[in-house]
Structure 1
């Protein structure tokens, strides 16, 4: 009897061990070099295409497949970003002449690469899918996601990542600009509104806690003595937590001075000249804020102390 045999039906080699032929499962795969996109593909295969995953694994073709998918996706991303940069005039010359503008444009392109407007894109996906006479299930199979994911995209419940956008663009045979419809300004407005709402929310909570902290300081220490440090300390920690949240948002949106904050709250941006002036004001405005805050706090505590003394005596 032969020591090795090959089965055409399942494309597997067998080796004899004793009286039995057992599958020769020594896998000679190439080195894994894939990154994010390869891992996304692998997860998709494991969850939604287990038979395909097992076949690639058993035949030693899985790593090569993942490497290829990852490489193709990365090349498409590079091409897409280069095309967007050329379209918007983001060149090396701009980088040398105005680095701030270059960085801003580069970040905008990366933002576009991650997404556009939910409502517009949902309509586009459904439109092109219908034109190709594809069901949601059929489209899902072609872009390596579930039917539910396609449904969520078309109903504005979620948004495709860059890998999915590239696959959709290729499948529909349209550019990313056509697919996303270039609604960058709308997207910026949505993001800006969300940031303003968040800033208002954090600011309101911080203001309330700060007021409670200041007003309660004198009564707590008059009534509880040294034990007042416990509730006062808790209030102080909570207030500082919200203060840090506010400062983090201010840093993220590069706003510090009064004018910058007012412009941000109104959804506006200062021009370069006014921005430069405001940046110059930041050091002394921060000092003034500390002095005024300390003065107001001291005055409030003094008045509360006087009032309590009058009413308690």
Structure 2
């Protein structure tokens, strides 16, 4: 038990810089995040039993992630500060809405397509930051946004023969997660990461439990197992992500988060036999290009801000 406590403390409260380990942890985080969409796709189909509603899938995600994180917190016994409940609730509400729509979309379209479209959330956050955070957006960031949106339009396959309406669910998920990022920015630096994760998942359980009442159905034994795996997978993804971001500069480690698209593609091939076509590869590649350009621009802006304060 004491050994588990040390591991949990290292994972949730990292204190040393280690770029190499940060890359490995971010790689693990992306594999786990893509794994949650894999499990959601399985639960949204009928291979494990009658398909579960996306609201029930996201409910399982929050319940079992909260159980995993609260178990680690019970062993760590970290010091908590007074939380900003309004910011936490807003962040969690939009996060719950985004992940529910994401889970709904992957039941109908390839994991790679849905994942790539949802990667528009930093672009939406950039646009939303103009009225909500009073941020100024220059030509480079607007160019990055235009590039990413062009990729999304390709993935939407906007022709009568190929259009997939479920892609709009992924696009809506990206927009809602963009709102979530705004509140994450507002929370940044105010509270310890472990406190943010615990409160986020606690509030998520409450919201998801209320939302699932009208669509709840008894899962099969296999579905219970996958729901547990989904929640634990998300808890591990969050722990790895927090640890990775704390062990290296954000400008260095953030681009590695796009590995989620690689794992989603591999899971598509391995578990569903869905080979990415040229539309998926082209649209996804263009979105990644826009996202990397945006990440680079944000890193340069942070560096200039730090230099001006020095």
Higher helix share: 2
Higher strand share: 1
* TM tier relative to shorter chain: under 0.3
- Compare relative contact order (CA 8 Å, sep 6+) and give the higher one, 1 or 2: 2
TM-score computed with the length of structure 2 as normaliser: 0.20
Larger Rg computed on CA atoms: 1
